[in-house]
Structure 1
């Protein structure tokens, strides 16, 4: 299902390693919202809260023993460290979002993911057991895929484009996409049409069998 993607090759279609075959139509392409991706997948607020907590703890333990200015100066380095950590997370989130292209067609979901190690995941609708939508008040949301069969994906390779904490059976996900409810509805209609389309296989005629 996953296919290696050559960073130095020119993509014939952005987000896809090759042109879609005849009969396949691209319905939507997009990227994660970088701010939502940073906030949710990198736990930005928790990291900030952690360093603010360290600052408060240090300040409270010192304020009874030293002057206010001294206690503040001794505690302030935690705020600086927190700002550096937050800036790094913002950069990582932005780079991850910009390196990602999600594609929905009438036959599959394709995910070109990875900033350092770029891979493309092809998820045909016939191999998706279920898709779950986690919708936020802002309208952004995550669509996670529960795959059929024994196909296993690496959680670390796919991160952050996965359902959080589903490590034993990794669920690839379209993370933090804008207008997620509309995209999920469009994908559901395409998947239903694809799965319900009769698959016609050509059988050899009796004359051909006899000739063989």
Structure 2
């Protein structure tokens, strides 16, 4: 899935160096902006918070003002909600545009970071399992459980991590379109790479849920 709007000096888009002989790219993609905004930046919770503030402010004002004037007292909170939403959208947009997820015949690579760009390489033999969380529209997140003693920073990888798994950080391909198709590509590539399946499973959770451990 090439992205022609990428401007990069990388030898291969999304990768810090040329592919070794015999390694091929099977899939590339990036997060969808609005799902990333809702899931990683908690847009719905933010809007819910402002909605409660508006209801509270208008409700209090109706005790001393006519309803029409009371409604106007909620306007500053409505404007502030719009400003915060715009800021969060720009953050999600910057994160999405800076990200390239790559599945090759040998590994998963994640070029991430809007301010400080890093590339995380995860060879298939180092991946213990992949869990798919799928939404009704087909967008989903594939969380990766790694093997070995490697310590990954939740803060450095955020938002490209499985939410709330702070002790054992799980890198994740967040909010990608056609996630079930991508999971199938990943599972097939991993099984082809090694004599036994590297991934214990690619579990499809109920919409909005995270696959059970």
TM > 0.5 fold call = yes
Distance between the aligned counterparts of 1:178 and 1:49, measured in 2?
A: 26
Partner residue in 2 for 1:38: 37
Distance between the aligned counterparts of 1:61 and 1:130, measured in 2?
A: 52
Distance between the aligned counterparts of 2:88 and 2:149, measured in 1?
A: 34
Structure 2 matches for 1:2-151, cutoff 5 A? 10-151=9-150
Alignment RMSD, CA only? 1.4
User: Looking at CA atoms only, which structure, 1 or 2, has the larger radius of gyration?
Assistant: 1
Distance between the aligned counterparts of 2:37 and 2:72, measured in 1?
A: 30
Structure 2 matches for 1:160-199, cutoff 5 A? 160-196=159-195
Report the Cα offset of residue 183 of structure 1: 0.6
Q: Please list the CA deviations of residues 130-176 of structure 1 after superposition, one character each: whole Å capped at 9, or x if unmatched.
A: 00000111001000001001111111110000000001111000001
Report the Cα offset of residue 64 of structure 1: 1.7
Matched positions, count: 190
Higher relative helix content: 1
Report the Cα offset of residue 67 of structure 1: 1.9
Distance between the aligned counterparts of 2:95 and 2:9, measured in 1?
A: 20
- TM-score normalized with structure 1 length: 0.87
Report the Cα offset of residue 71 of structure 1: 1.8
Report the Cα offset of residue 73 of structure 1: 2.3
Distance between the aligned counterparts of 1:19 and 1:44, measured in 2?
A: 38
Partner residue in 1 for 2:208: none
Distance between the aligned counterparts of 2:105 and 2:116, measured in 1?
A: 27
- TM-score normalized with structure 2 length: 0.86
Secondary structure of the residue that 2:136 maps to in structure 1? coil
Report the Cα offset of residue 9 of structure 1: 7.8
Structure 2 runs not aligned, ≥5 long: 1-6, 197-213
Distance between the aligned counterparts of 1:184 and 1:16, measured in 2?
A: 20
Pick which of 109-118 and 8-17 moved more: 8-17
Report the Cα offset of residue 12 of structure 1: 0.8
